[in-house]
Structure 1
Amino acid sequence: MRCLLLLSLSGLLAACASAPDAPEPERDPRDKLEPFNRAMWELNYEILDPNILRPATVGYMAVVPSPARRGVDNFLSNLREPDSFVNAGLQAKPASMAISAGRFLVNSTVGVLGLFDVATKIGLHERREDFGQTLAVWGVGEGSFLMVPARGPSTVRDTTGDLVDALYSPLGLFNTPLTITRYVLSGLTQREKAMSMEHLLEDSFDPYAFVREAYLQNRLFEIHDGNPPEQDDYDDSYLDEFF
């Protein structure tokens, strides 16, 4: 019996050794760091989110009433208007500059330090601009897609832009405790907004690839102010594999 078992194992190993290697799946050329990014995806969305961020967000939603949470979101958004103003100027968009300046002035005064979004109600709709978009307008390539630890999807260009925005943003004037509080509240607010999208990840074949594509397409939309150029070779049939 032992001899037969050894012979069977030997035959199985020989068959495995002689079998041709399965071809590796073709990688997205925009994701040159995919092995690292997938590892960070596991950290962010398989460990940190279900064990820390999502439970904290659920608790935040249970304790803080919806109007108060909306006020926090408005306050944080208002503090980013100077960033949009500067980047609109760097992109030569005077209309966007005027809107960002008007929104900041109206919401910081009539809107009680930004707690109420009065500007939108009077027709000054937000036009978010950041330095990542500025770099794109200047012709800087986006670099590889990047899954940032404890944060989420980005690109090399957008991550660089975030660092530059922090240099002149009024948010940089916060001391350490206030900065930590801002990051926590911002994370909770953004996670709350993502609650309605959870079913898309759960139903997708490859959640990582789905998030990557959604992020890159959304950034293209933002860079071109809602009018991205048509791509002749674009084929949305690949989306079928995600659902």
Structure 2
Amino acid sequence: MLRPGFPVASTTVPARSRRRLGLTAAALLGMLALPVLLPAGAHAQDTQPQPPQAAVTPDAPAPDGDGARTEVAEAKTAEARAAIAASQEEDANDPLEGMNRAIFWFNEGVDTVLLRPAAKVYRTVMPDFAQTGIRNVLWNLRSPLTLANKLLQGDWDGAEVATERFLINSTIGLGGLIDVAGDHGLTYEYESFDQTLAVWGVPEGFYLVLPVLGPSTLRDAVGFGVEAYGDPVSRYLSNTHDDWASYTRAGVYAVDLRAQYLDVLDDMKRNSVDYYATMRSLYRQRQNNYIRNGKVDPDQFPSIPDYDSK
């Protein structure tokens, strides 16, 4: 099962647009932020594998050049794969793997019985434009949380973009149904309190799988709890005794998100040697991508042997 979030492009907003909406943005910053603010080297050359030596007898010729090069290439590939596998194992940070695997397969059972069938019906019945509209509304409702996290991270330009998006899409975009702001260059960026904690230097902690919610880390789980409590929209619905609306919002969000990954997850499940480990790796890659806002971190790649090009 999947946690929230979509990869998005980084945002560049013309200064003129920011000035035009600056006053209105500043007014809404305080109003929206208040409810939220309250409540782990390369291998040494001496470890380089030597080309396999053919058994040479007086009557047996040594292998020709092409054969030797092929054997060397295969040896290099095998060692590179071993290095990558070792690095991935070191980076797993999964001390509760036994428990996590049990919860993971429980979640898979829930997904098989409930969520996946619902997502298939949703994708079959709902036309593409309707799915897009629903998704736009859901992400527009998350705009206050995005704004709050932008402010907490000190991302003032991002906060201004989030404010302008919310104002434009909530009005001209008919409550977020139409992404008018996105059509004018104000691209959506997903932000969470987990990302904010990462910006503050809080380590991610060990890997967790949460019942129903799916892959997480200790830091991400804390961030999820903070957002569940501090989301202004959820708090408003709770205070007005419209809890049914909160549950409907969460249910539609889960089904819509699952529908987007139907084919991808089915293919991964069929082709993965270890589906649990694959999902764990992909979750971490996605979270790291969000935290860096799409910028590549060279440290994420494992060290592999450096061979001479001979």
TM-based fold match above 0.5: yes
Aligned Cα RMSD in Å? 1.9
**Which amino acid in the other structure matches residue 250 of structure 2?**
Y
TM-superposition CA deviations, 1:108-165 (whole Å, max 9, x none): 0111000111111100001211110000111111111111111211111111111112
Contact 1:83 1:169 in 2 (8 A): yes
* CA gap 1:233/1:127 in 2 versus in 1, 3 angstroms: closer
Between the aligned partners of 1:236 and 1:52, the Cα distance in structure 2 is 42
Shift of 1:63: 2.8
| Counterparts of residues 203-242 of structure 1 (less than 5 Å) | 203-231=271-299, 234-235=302-303
Specify the alignment match of 2:170 in structure 1: 108
**Which amino acid in the other structure matches residue 97 of structure 2?**
E
Between the aligned partners of 1:123 and 1:39, the Cα distance in structure 2 is 44
Between the aligned partners of 1:136 and 1:72, the Cα distance in structure 2 is 30
Specify the alignment match of 2:262 in structure 1: 195
**Which amino acid in the other structure matches residue 175 of structure 2?**
L
The structure with the largest alpha-carbon Rg is: 2
* CA gap 1:171/1:236 in 2 versus in 1, 3 angstroms: farther
Specify the alignment match of 1:98 in structure 2: 160
Shift of 1:74: 0.7
2:117 to 40, 55, 78: 55
Shift of 1:233: 6.2
Matched, 1:178 2:240: no
2:105 to 34, 39, 42: 42
Shift of 1:28: 5.3
SS of equivalent to 2:208: strand
- Normalising to structure 1: TM-score of the pair? 0.81
- Normalising to structure 2: TM-score of the pair? 0.64
TM-superposition CA deviations, 1:159-214 (whole Å, max 9, x none): 11111122332331222211110111011011011113121232111111111001
Paired residues in the alignment total 211
- Structure with more contact order per residue of length (Cα contacts < 8 Å, sep ≥ 6): 2
SS of equivalent to 1:231: helix
% same residue: 37
Contact 2:151 2:159 in 1 (8 A): yes
